[in-house]
């Protein structure tokens, strides 16, 4: 009995001309993800990707976990592959799923026959396999409406597959089907979640982090790298650009009105980010802002921030409550790291009373106090690249 993994592809994207591209990317991403574990054959057939280990000593728990983190996989299950023979199939179901069936109260069998030469139709397969399971596990009840375990039998081109409840996959679309965008990443809770959410839609990420030494420490930067490492478990390799932001922040502090420090700082961040993003062929910026969360995230402040750039700015958390954002950060495992107490450049020179409804013309006037272009260029050209890989 050979164990494999079956990964289901989202239905929507299977339509039309995109199908082949989508499948090819997904297969490539699954292969890359599984590469450290050994050799696999990864093949698509009929909205399913079949992943077959080619070495004997492969850790299938780990392999299944990894498949579950690839965007584009909506569900996955471990399955046993057997000869297309009804006697073999029913015995395999009992043997392969013994642990699951022993611990369950109810079950049903669902069958799919895509090999039309197989002599039994789907309802017959379910009936034969179902009654054999019921005989072998007399305590187990049949429940066709709400079973604890659904045993699935798929009779396909090369073999028959038997598996139980599929697990939900990461969903979304395979990277980089959505193109490339730049995530402005801090060490907070929100921006790593925003990065994950856009990667889920197939976006390949470039990361930009603003550091203001000596006001911010090397450990704050290290924290951001750790967060990106966790995100890259889903998003793949990420290039991170660390921007020296001290001079711009000091200039703001020395020359601008205090109640506008934050909004002007955010406008500078956007200007620098757009330039870095353009250098690396990103088509959009991404931030972790959520409407109304803090003074710089009111609609007025956001409008005033966005007028400094021409690229689209994605804010995937805009309509989410903090509690909902935390739930995602716990799911993707960034929450605990985000809580580590290192200062961010946003918390340096925080005004006592930030203006919540900044007007563009007022901010533009305040910005006219100095010449920013050179400082912006210096920040852009001083950005240092670190390449982040999943652990
Ligand atoms: P986060 O939890 O992501 O820090 P936040 O709710 O604390 O977000 P702010 O600190 O106001 O909000 O930052 C808003 C957004 O600006 C962040 O989500 C992030 O996209 C970007 N940002 C903030 N600080 C930095 C930084 N040091 N480097 C890069 N981007 C930053
Ligand atoms: Mg923050």
Report whether residue 204 contacts ligand 1, using a CB cutoff of 6 Å.
Answer: no
pLDDT at 348 over 80: no
Report whether residue 296 contacts ligand 1, using a CB cutoff of 6 Å.
Answer: yes
Residue 13 pLDDT level (bands cut at 50, 70, 90): low
Is the alpha carbon torsion for 333, 388, 210, 316 positive or negative?
Answer: negative
Structure tokens belonging to residue 39: 């050799």
228: nearest Cα among 216, 242, 217: 242
Strands 238-244 and 203-211: parallel
The answer to whether 305 and 296 have CB atoms below 8 angstroms apart is yes
Closest ligand 1 atom, CA of 183? 20
CB-neighbour burial class of residue 140 (10 A; exposed 0-12, middle 13-18, buried 19+): buried
pLDDT digits (tens, 9 = 90+) for 231-268: 999 999 999 999 999 999 999 999 999 999 999 999 99
pLDDT at 12 over 70: no
Residue 14 pLDDT level (bands cut at 50, 70, 90): low
Report whether residue 185 contacts ligand 1, using a CB cutoff of 6 Å.
Answer: yes
pLDDT of residue 293: 81
Report whether residue 315 contacts ligand 1, using a CB cutoff of 6 Å.
Answer: no
Task: Compute the distance between CA of residue 304 and CA of residue 228 in angstroms, rounded to an integer.
Answer: 28
pLDDT at 78 over 90: yes
pLDDT at 11 over 80: no
Task: Please provide the average confidence, as pLDDT, over all residues in the chain.
Answer: 94
Report whether residue 345 contacts ligand 1, using a CB cutoff of 6 Å.
Answer: yes
Residue 85 pLDDT level (bands cut at 50, 70, 90): very high
Residue with tokens 């020395």: 254
3-state SS, residue 213: coil
Structure tokens belonging to residue 293: 């969360």
pLDDT of residue 358: 84
Report the Cα 52 to chain-centroid distance in Å. 24
Using the CB atoms, write b or e for 326-338: b if 16+ within 10 Å: bebbeebebbebb
Rounded to an integer, the average pLDDT of 173-190 is 96
90: nearest Cα among 158, 3, 162: 162
pLDDT digits (tens, 9 = 90+) for 273-290: 999 999 999 999 999 999
pLDDT at 346 over 90: no
Best residue among 187, 189, 190, 270 to mutate for probing ligand 1, ranked by most atoms within 8 Å of CB: 190
Q: Which ligand is nearest to the CA of 186?
A: 1
pLDDT of residue 20: 85
Closest ligand 1 atom, CA of 243? 28
Task: Compute the distance between CA of residue 166 and CA of residue 143 in angstroms, rounded to an integer.
Answer: 18
């Amino acid at each position: 009995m050979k164990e494999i993994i079956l990964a289901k592809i989202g239905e929507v994207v299977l339509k039309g001309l995109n199908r082949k591209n989508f499948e090819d990317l997904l297969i490539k991403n699954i292969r890359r993800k599984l590469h450290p574990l050994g050799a696999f054959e990864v093949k698509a057939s009929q909205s399913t990707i079949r992943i077959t280990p080619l070495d004997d000593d492969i850790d299938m728990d780990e392999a299944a976990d990894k498949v579950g983190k690839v965007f584009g996989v909506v569900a996955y299950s471990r399955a046993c592959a057997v000869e297309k023979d009804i006697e073999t199939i029913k015995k395999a179901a009992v043997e392969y799923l013994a642990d699951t069936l022993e611990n369950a109260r109810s079950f049903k069998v669902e069958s799919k026959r895509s090999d039309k030469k197989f002599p039994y139709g789907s309802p017959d397969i379910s009936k034969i396999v179902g009654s054999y399971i019921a005989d072998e596990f007399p305590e187990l009840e049949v429940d066709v409406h709400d079973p604890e375990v659904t045993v699935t039998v798929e009779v396909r081109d090369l073999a028959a597959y038997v598996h139980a409840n599929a697990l939900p996959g990461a969903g979304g679309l395979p990277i980089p089907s959505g193109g490339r965008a730049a995530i402005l990443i801090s060490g907070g809770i929100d921006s790593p979640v925003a990065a994950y959410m856009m990667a889920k839609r197939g976006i390949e990420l470039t990361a930009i982090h603003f550091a203001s030494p000596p006001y911010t420490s090397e450990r704050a930067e290290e924290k951001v790298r750790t967060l990106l490492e966790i995100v890259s478990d889903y998003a793949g390799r990420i290039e991170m650009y660390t921007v020296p932001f001290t001079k711009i922040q000091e200039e703001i502090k020395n020359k601008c009105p205090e109640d506008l420090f934050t909004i002007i700082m955010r406008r500078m961040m956007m200007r620098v980010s757009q330039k870095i993003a353009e250098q690396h062929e990103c088509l959009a910026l991404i931030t972790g802002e959520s409407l109304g969360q803090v003074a710089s995230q009111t609609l007025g402040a956001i409008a005033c921030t966005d007028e400094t750039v021409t690229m689209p700015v994605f804010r995937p958390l805009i309509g989410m409550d903090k509690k909902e954002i935390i739930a995602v950060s716990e799911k993707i495992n960034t929450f605990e790291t985000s809580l580590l107490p290192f200062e961010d450049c946003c918390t340096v020179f925080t005004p006592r009373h930030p203006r919540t409804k900044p007007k563009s013309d007022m901010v533009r006037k305040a910005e006219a106090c100095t010449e920013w272009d050179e400082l912006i260029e210096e920040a852009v050209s001083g950005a240092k690249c670190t390449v982040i890989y999943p652990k």
